[in-house]
Amino acid sequence: MFVNNDVKNAMAMEERHVIKLSDPDHPVILSTEDLHVYYGKKEALFEGDLEFASNQISALIGPSGSGKSTYLRSLNRMNDRIATVTGKIMYRGVDINQPSIDVYEMRRRVGMVFQRPNPFAKSIYDNIAFALRLRGVTGKHKLDEIVETSLKQAALWDQVKDDLNKSALALSGGQAQRLCIARAIAIKPDILLLDEPASALDPVSTGQLEDTLLSLKEHYTIIIVTHNMQQAARISEYTAFFNQGRVLEYDTTSHIFTNPSVQVTSDYVSGNFG
């Protein structure tokens, strides 16, 4: 029966399959048009044209070196000094990939969490509060409140509420990663970009992190790079499959995992890659 399906699919296989979104409940908040990224002369991303739905989780999957991080890091211009990025990145109707954009302001709307947890050498409290203070949020009450809500949203509050003045460098990997999420959401971004945020975590912490992301969906649009196919299937609504610097397929997660349109995607998600 599986064989039959495979044969049927193979006949209908396309080279490339990228859908446009049309869900009125979750309008497109971020999209890229004809995005190319060059490291020096070397082109690492050949075409990225994806749309992301607001308050949904979108997963970017694909083999190592396929350009997932390159793409993700372009979205909030973290590649500015490293690579040349051409094309459009439309965020709420504005192309944020142009020189006149205030990148610092933009990154406060499009936050990022990295693969390796990177808490600062400060107290847990200050990890969250110091960026706020720099932006003129003062007043202990206000800061206390933001610190508490962000830690609660990141599901870390109960574990650290008595240790807010202790160094963040003493947290475990999973806790540190959730602190980084709390830090990112404390400045109230619109979109949260996460690059393999669970790859340094054990299964229990990973599960907690996934729950956190699912609950954050209510307030934020989430784009997550992951190597863990089950994870993508568990938490995301949409999935993009990257291969060799190209987006080969983009569709709903259920489509990608049960009935992919592109042969390479099918091979990859079923584990017969290469």
Ligand X SMILES: Nc1ncnc2c1ncn2[C@@H]1O[C@H](COP(=O)(O)OP(=O)(O)OP(=O)(O)O)[C@@H](O)[C@H]1O
- Of 127, 133, 202, the closest CA to residue 168 belongs to 127
Residue type, 156: L
DSSP track, 86-124: EEEEEETTEE-SSTTS-HHHHHHHEEEE-SS----SSBH
Q: Which of 17, 68, 178, 246 binds ligand X (CB under 6 A)?
A: 68
Alpha helices (H) along 161-274: 173-186, 203-216, 229-235, 253-258, 263-269
The 81-120 contact track toward ligand X, x by CB under 6 A, reads: -x--------------------------------------
- Of 260, 196, 171, 209, the closest CA to residue 59 belongs to 196
Which two three-digit tokens encode residue 254? 């259920």
Distance in angstroms (rounded) separating the CA atoms of residues 124 and 109: 22
Give the total of residues touching another protein (CB under 8 A). Answer: 30
Which two three-digit tokens encode residue 46? 């050949």
Contact call for residue 169 and another protein (CB under 8 A): yes
Q: Which residues 38-97 are close enough to bind another protein by CB under 8 A?
A: 76, 78
Give the total of residues touching ligand X (CB under 6 A). Answer: 12
Q: Which residues 214-253 are close enough to bind another protein by CB under 8 A?
A: none
Binding positions for Mg ion, rule: CB under 5 A: 69
Nearer to ligand X, 86 or 258 (CB): 86
Q: Choose the contact partner of 219 out of another protein, Mg ion, ligand X, none; CB within 5 to 8 A by kind.
A: none
Contact call for residue 157 and another protein (CB under 8 A): no
Sites of contact with another protein (CB under 8 A): 76, 78, 104-108, 111-114, 116, 118-122, 130-131, 134-135, 163, 166-167, 169-170, 180, 183-184, 187
Sites of contact with ligand X (CB under 6 A): 39, 44, 62, 64-70, 82, 227
